Amino acid sequence: MRELIQLQSFPVRTVLPILLQDKTTKKNIIWATSSYEQFGNQYADDKQITIEALTGLNPILLQPRIMKTMEQQQARTKVHAEVFTPAWICNKMNNYCDEEWFYRKNVFNILQDKQWDITQERVLFPPNKTWKQYIDSRRLEITCGEAPYIASRYDASTGEAIPIKDRIGILDRKLRIINENTDNEGEWLKWTIRAFQSVYGYEYQGDNLLIGRINLLITFVDYLSDRWNREAAIDELKKIANIIAWNFWQMDGLTGTVPLGEPEEEIHQYSLFEMFGNEENKPEDKKTPRCRIFDWRADKSILYESMKKQEG
């Protein structure tokens, strides 16, 4: 099975510093898993994920859950209840959401047991709704892992790649609609950016989150190449990566805060008082910042919890 996540590929390495950003802490996302701690202190669960840790002299093999050993999969399931959903179930649930939105079934595909047939005709919209409203409709995948409900590059339960024409993720559906309703590259790019701005997800474990972010980035690269037969420019990759870093964030879903508190600086100069335990000069406990996300239509960042209150 080929590597599904290639950190040294042009699109990923170009914007990897952005994909590692935690917009709430203004640092990097953290590992938030003990799966890699045998490789050294920089891989501890509360340490920031760095480019050096990923691609340096002793790089780790960052790959989806399906490519990890069975022992690793079982351990992560036990500790974090990590279970990844087969593509056919993602498709079935996404179909239910679209059935509610379009007021009819089988808009994008017809599900047959664990397979599906993509509809070939152009998608038609209800009289009171437009394709642009569909693109702007906001969708959130909670505890998103590798984001299989949003972007279906591969089946998360098998690792099998899914061709563009057969993809069933929420973002994939929006990009199909854009393909069907735009006829020039400028308009296509405008609405593709809006599509990325409309999908959200949060995840606890940093390696899963990074994989999910990469899946979204490569989804942009795939569709751009398929529609316009060209590679993404660096400025386009940076723009999309920044949206992804805001919209797919690291969070403890029970508390709405950054997992394990705000990470410390990679290099900390301890004073004699800190080293010898003077009670009056001990470092403060780690802060637990409340997570921020971005409202693209209002052009400002907001607390995630404030959005929940508004929706409630």
- The residue segments making up the domain with residue 95 are 10-311
Mean pLDDT of 21-49: 93
pLDDT in tens, 195-247: 999 999 999 999 999 999 999 999 999 999 999 999 999 999 999 999 999 99
**291 in a domain, yes or no?**
yes
**Is residue 282 scored above 70 in pLDDT?**
no
pLDDT in tens, 104-160: 999 999 999 899 999 999 999 999 999 999 999 999 999 999 999 999 999 988 889
**5 in a domain, yes or no?**
no
- The whole-number pLDDT of residue 35 equals 85
**4 in a domain, yes or no?**
no
What confidence category does residue 70 fall into, taking pLDDT thresholds of 50, 70 and 90? very low
**91 in a domain, yes or no?**
yes
- The whole-number pLDDT of residue 58 equals 62
Mean pLDDT of 31-43: 88
- The whole-number pLDDT of residue 279 equals 44
Mean pLDDT of 244-270: 84
The residue among 107 and 279 whose pLDDT is bigger is: 107
**224 in a domain, yes or no?**
yes
What confidence category does residue 294 fall into, taking pLDDT thresholds of 50, 70 and 90? very high
**Is residue 172 scored above 70 in pLDDT?**
yes
**290 in a domain, yes or no?**
yes
**218 in a domain, yes or no?**
yes
pLDDT in tens, 107-119: 999 999 899 999 9
Q: What is the mean pLDDT of the chain?
A: 88
Considering the entire predicted model, what is its pTM?
Answer: 0.88
d(CA 32, CA 259): 7
- The whole-number pLDDT of residue 67 equals 52
Q: How many domains does the chain divide into?
A: 1
What confidence category does residue 312 fall into, taking pLDDT thresholds of 50, 70 and 90? very low
What confidence category does residue 286 fall into, taking pLDDT thresholds of 50, 70 and 90? low
**Is residue 74 scored above 80 in pLDDT?**
no
What confidence category does residue 76 fall into, taking pLDDT thresholds of 50, 70 and 90? very low
- The whole-number pLDDT of residue 284 equals 44
What confidence category does residue 66 fall into, taking pLDDT thresholds of 50, 70 and 90? low
**3 in a domain, yes or no?**
no
